[in-house]
A and B are shown apart, each in its own frame.
Chain A
Amino acid sequence: MTAVDPAPTRPPAVTGSDRPRLARHVRLAFDPTRQRHVLLHPETVVVLHGSGADILGLCDGRRTVAEIVDELGARYQVVPDDEVRRFLTRLAARRCVELVPADG
C-alpha cells in the first residue's frame, strides 16, 4: 500500500494578498490540437480547463489575488475567490506559479 501525495510539495495556501506570476520556466500558450490553453513546463504540459487560463492571464506578479478576482468580476457573473485561491495553490505546489513577496 503506497499513499500517493497529490502534490509534489506542500506550500502555504495562496491568500488574497499574494501576488502570483508564472514561474520563470513556464509559459502560457494555446494548444491548437487540444483547443485548450496549456502551461508549457520543461517536463510536463498542464492542460487548463474552465476559467483557469483567464486567471493565469492576469498573474503578472503585480496584481494581488484579490485584484485578480476583482478584474475577473468584470467578465464573469460570479467569481468564487476560494476556487481561484485553490487553483493557484495547486499550481504553486507544482512550481508552475510563484508568489512575489509583498515587499519585493
Chain B
Amino acid sequence: ESSLEVWETPEFDEIG
C-alpha cells in the first residue's frame, strides 16, 4: 500500500 496520492493532470478553465 502507498499513502501517496494519485497524480491528476493539471488543467484549468478560464472564465471571463
Interface residues of A, Cβ cutoff 8 Å to B: 39, 43-52, 55, 75-80, 83-84, 87, 90-91, 94
Q: How many residues of B contact A (CB 8 A)?
A: 14
Q: Do A48 and B12 touch across chains, with their CB atoms under 8 A apart?
A: yes
Interface residues of B, Cβ cutoff 8 Å to A: 2, 4-16
Residues of A within 8 A of B15 (CB): 44-47
Residues of A within 8 A of B13 (CB): 46-47, 49
Find A94's partner among B6, B7, B14 (CB 8 Å cutoff): B14
Q: Do A79 and B7 touch across chains, with their CB atoms under 8 A apart?
A: yes
Q: What is the bound-complex CA distance between A94 and B7, given in angstroms?
A: 24
Q: Do B12 and A46 touch across chains, with their CB atoms under 8 A apart?
A: yes
Q: Assuming A75-B4, A76-B4, A77-B2, is B12 touching A51 (CB within 8 A)? A: no
Q: Do B12 and A83 touch across chains, with their CB atoms under 8 A apart?
A: no
